[in-house]
């Protein structure tokens, strides 16, 4: 249990640095891996050129009236909206993402028994939302409504269970897989 608790206290960057420090690779293999990675990037870009990129959809033009500040804010909002729309459309037609994402996720789950930045793997390959687990195992909740001012999520659940038990109600708590 200690290693599971430690896993949530380290940031992903610290974990990555520790893994890099303990990983060794021959220079020939490293060069081959870089060449393979660069080749995949170039190939996927060429295939995407053949398939095509999404067209930029036009949205209502920014304001041309008002103060200079209002015009700047309107133009900025317009640019952000166009960018967000284009990114969403690009994700839908991006060749590499559509082909490899599900395969990559399956390899992570079934071969390495690892989730991603949003998912933790449980028993029998059940998937759990990482933020929910971090919330329950993380630092105390700060509250102005309590005498203690900070409560751990577990103590809140135990307190709630006790309140229900006084009314002859049993609380059943279980993490729900995604």
> Could you tell me which residues are beta bridge partners of residue 127?
121
Using the predicted structure, report yes or no on whether residue 9 has a pLDDT greater than 70. Answer: no
Would you call 82 helix, strand, or coil by DSSP? Answer: helix
Using the predicted structure, report yes or no on whether residue 1 has a pLDDT greater than 50. Answer: no
Residue, of 64 and 82, whose pLDDT is higher? 82
C-beta contacts of 155-164 below 8 A and 24+ residues apart: none
**pLDDT tens per residue across span 107-161:** 888 887 787 778 888 888 788 888 888 777 777 766 666 566 667 777 888 889 9
Q: How far apart are CA 124 and CA 177, in angstroms?
A: 11
- Of 32-41, 43-52, 102-111, 148-157, which gets the smallest average pLDDT? 148-157
Model confidence band, residue 30 (pLDDT cutoffs 50, 70, 90): confident
Using the predicted structure, report yes or no on whether residue 20 has a pLDDT greater than 90. Answer: no
Task: Determine which helix (DSSP H) or strand (DSSP E) holds 150, and give its type and residue range.
Answer: strand 150-151
The DSSP call for residue 124 is G
DSSP sequence for 56-106 = PPP-PPPP-SS-HHHHHHHHHHHHHHHHHHHHHHHHHH-HHHHHHHHHHHH
**pLDDT tens per residue across span 66-112:** 888 888 888 888 888 888 887 887 777 777 777 777 788 888 888 87
What local confidence, expressed as pLDDT, does residue 162 receive? 93
């Amino acid at each position: 249990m200690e290693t599971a608790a430690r896993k949530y206290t380290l940031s992903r960057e610290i974990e990555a640095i520790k893994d890099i420090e303990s990983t060794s690779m021959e220079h020939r293999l490293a060069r081959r891996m870089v060449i393979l990675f660069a080749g995949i990037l170039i190939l996927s870009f060429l295939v995407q050129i053949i398939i095509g990129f999404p067209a930029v959809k036009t949205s209502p033009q920014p304001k041309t009236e008002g103060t200079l500040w209002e015009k700047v804010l309107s133009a900025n909002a317009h640019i952000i909206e166009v960018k967000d729309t284009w990114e969403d459309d690009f994700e839908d037609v991006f060749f590499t993402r559509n082909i490899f994402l599900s395969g990559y996720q399956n390899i992570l789950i079934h071969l390495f028994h690892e989730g991603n930045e949003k998912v933790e793997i449980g028993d029998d390959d059940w998937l759990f939302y990482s933020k929910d687990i971090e919330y329950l195992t993380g630092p105390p909740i700060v509250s102005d409504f309590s005498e203690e001012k900070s409560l751990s999520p577990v103590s809140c659940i135990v307190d709630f269970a006790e309140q229900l038990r006084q009314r002859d109600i049993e609380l059943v708590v279980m993490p729900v897989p995604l």
